[in-house]
Structure formats: structure tokens, C-alpha cells
Amino acid sequence: MTDFPLTVSTTGVYHVPEVSKDSAERTASLLRANHAAFHVFFNFKGYHNHQVHYLLTAYALGANPAQLQTAFDTNISYQRPRIPVDESIVRKLSNERFFKSLVGNDTYFNDYTAFFQCKFEAEGWQKVVNDYLFSRTELADDLLVRLHAGIIHPLIHFGFGIEFQQPPIIAEALAQAVCHNNFFGPFLLQAEQLAKGRTNEECPPLLDLMKEIREDPSLYDKNYWDGGDSLLDKILADAPQRVIEIASKWRVDVQDLDLRTAEMMNVNAWMAGAAQRHDKEVKLDFFFIHSVNCSIFFSAINAQPWLSDENKARLLEWKVRMDILQYASRLAPELHNEEVVNYKPRESGRSWASIIETTNSITYDDGHISKLVRALAHGSKVCNPYEERQELSARFPLKAAGWLQIANMAIDTTNAPTVPARWVRGAGDVKNWESFGSRL
């Protein structure tokens, strides 16, 4: 059985002060159960199994064994069984031509996972990840593109594996990327190529790039983007050339890696809170929260000594360019700072500790709420040194108290057991708000 080497010393970049040995053991046991029993997609539409994400997040937030078991059990019924490994296929995947012949087909997820695990044992997971994602070969670039597909879920899965030092999860993430499409290739690679001609330009504030999109209504036409609520990568990937040009302006020099990482975290969180309609109840955009939830892993990725600074910068560039694409494709909602500043929590005086305690007691989540709260708590710490620097005010719209405000939003607005009622999907289109109540 695959081993998950989780201990009280592998608690991630953000965790509560004390994580129990019993919780570590229960989490490892449940990760093994998920790995053995379930596919990385829970249906045949490509919707993702979040058990790994939920378990590791709840573990880092101090959930006890019973709460961890509830988190796992709540999400068992709809999971898709894992397909048995075909050893003959695993052996042939060492041939690059054969490897490429099966990409994009989730039937082979388990075979690719087993292949990568074998490679890890023989060569070390760090070398394999560098070879298959960051070596800048045709195959590596293709897999790096696929890592950003499916609302960046493969990247999120990869991030959990890196942050919690779990090679089996990293193998799953690589296999998950293989099984996704490469529709974002033209967007990401063209933006990267255009960025090479901007080496003498200063990277503009990310907020300014979002404003460029908002100021050009042709870039967020609802018919072009299928109303802004689409889960289909093909629709998002058909980005107008102007969006690609705007995305290419976001560049990360290695000496600015920490600053740009913090800026990404800050703007992602602020957008999620500020994308509201004054006439409707407060809701967070389902797509924007994925940008926030993914942001936490860049602290872990930046700390990896085996990954070059150039590749860390490249990965951050690609992630933010996907954030820019998400903003345009969700019809560029107006962003209102006062919605964050003036938000009135349903319970006054909540602290991070009380919000985390509430998060751990939720019995109907699939991990999205917990991930959002943890990413916000972490972002608050990372961004604090930058937020009050006057020269950075254009890059850091979210200030200290705002992080807790958005965490309150996350708790207050997702208390409906029915998934569609928790989030607005595509905050820029008035139609996507119709099912929600008017603001009192």
C-alpha cells in the first residue's frame, strides 16, 4: 500500500499552533484510503475529487480525528472508483512517444500515477518533477500547460503535495495534469513569448491589468464567454488577443519573487471579496476563490531548493496570467473596496481562531470553504509587511483588517448545504446573481 509520510512536523506553511499526532495518523490513513479507492475525477465530466485537499487543509487547521473522518465520509458517496493499474501500460510509459499517445485521457490516470511513483523511487521526485514540468522541453511545457487546466485543479493538487511533502500526491498531480487538456497552451505560451519583448518594462500593478480589461467592454462580452459561468476550458482558452497582450505585461524578475508572490495573494483575495453587487446578498465568486485557494502554495514552492528561481518566477507568471484570464472570462465584475471595508459579519468579534474552529465544525463542505479560510489566514501574514508601505499602495489593495473581513464573508455566505447556493459563478453577469436574494 502506498505510504503517506505525514507527521506532526509536516503541517504546511500555515497551520494552527498544535496539531495532534492522532490527527496526523488519521489524515494519513484517510489519504491512503482515498488513493487506493478513488479516481482523481469524481465523474466523467472531469469534476475533481477534493478529498486530498480537504483532509490536508482540515489537518493543518487542527481538526480532530472525528472531524477529519466526517470530512472524508461526507464526500464518499459520489466518488468514482479508481481503475486498476495496467502494469503493461506502466512499463511502456517510459517511451516518450507512447507516453504522449495517451495524454488527455483520464482512463489512464492510475497508470500514469503508478508510472510517476516508480520514477520517483528510481530517480527521486524532485528530479522527476524538474524533468517533466520545468525542463522546458516540448513535453514539459505541454504538461505545465495541462497543470493549469480545469480551474487550475492540477496545480492545486501539486501544491498540496509540495507543501505537505507527500510524493504520492505529487505523483497524482502529475498524472492529473496528463489527463487534462492543453487548451491553454496558446494563451500561456503566446503571453510568455510577448513578455520576452518587455524585459525593459517595469511590471505594472496587477490591479492596473485588471482595470485595463474592465475599461474595454469588448473583452468581457457575455456571448463570447458563455455568460461567465462556464466550466469548459475551451471557452476560456479562446481568449481575445488583447487579453493575451495584457497578460504578457505581468512579469516576475527573480529578485522580486517574494514581492510579486505577496501581490498575487493580496489582489486575489481582494478581488474575491470586492466582486459584489450592491443590490444582492454577499456571495463570493466560485472561480475567484480557486485563485485564492491556490495562492498559498507559492510560499511552499518558493521555498524549494531543488527548483530554480527562474522556474519559480515562471510558474508565478503563469498563475497570475491565469488569474487575469479568469477575471476577463467571468465578465470582469466591478470591484468595490467598500464591500470589504463595510461588511458586517453575522457574529461580531470573530478572531482567526474562532473562524478556524467554525470551519472545522462544518459538516457539509467539500474542502472549498476550509481551503479559502486557510489561504486567507496565510495571505494575511505574508502580505502584512507590504501593505502599509506607501510606495506599494497601488499593488496591495487589501489591508490588515480586510483579510478577516473576507474570511467572515466566507463563513457567513456558505452556510447553505446546497452547493449552488454557496457561491456566485461568474460575478460579472447580472444573470448569475438572479437566484440570490436582494440586500436588505
Q: What pLDDT does residue 402 have?
A: 98
- Residue-wise pLDDT tens digits, 164-208: 999 999 999 999 999 999 999 999 999 999 999 998 899 999 999
- Is the pLDDT at 404 greater than 80? The verdict is yes
Work out the pLDDT band at 415, boundaries 50, 70, 90.
Answer: confident
Please report which helix (H) or strand (E) contains residue 285, including its range.
strand 284-285
% of the chain surpassing 70 pLDDT: 98
Cα–Cα dist 398/404, whole Å: 10
Mean pLDDT within 128-149: 98
Quick check: 43 pLDDT over 90?
A: no
Q: Where are the alpha helices (DSSP H) in 330-393?
A: 337-341, 352-361, 368-387
What average pLDDT does the segment 395-421 reach?
Answer: 91
Query: Among residues 329, 334, 321, which one has the least CA distance to residue 222?
Result: 329
Q: How far apart, in Å, are the Cα atoms of 21 and each of 25, 65, 140, 373? A: 6, 10, 38, 23
pLDDT of residue 46: 72
Q: What is the pLDDT of residues 349-377, one digit of tens each?
A: 999 999 999 999 998 889 999 999 999 99
Instruction: Using pLDDT thresholds of 50, 70 and 90, give the confidence band for residue 440.
Output: low
Question: Taking CA 44 as the corner, what is the angle to CA 38 and CA 49, rounded to the nearest 5 degrees?
Answer: 40
* Residue pair 268/295 in contact by the 8 Å Cβ criterion: yes
Please give the model's pTM, rounded to 2 decimal places.
Answer: 0.97
> For residue 262, which amino acid is it?
A
The answer to whether 4 and 28 have CB atoms below 8 angstroms apart is yes
* Three-state secondary structure call for residue 94: coil
Is the per-residue pLDDT at 218 higher than 90? yes
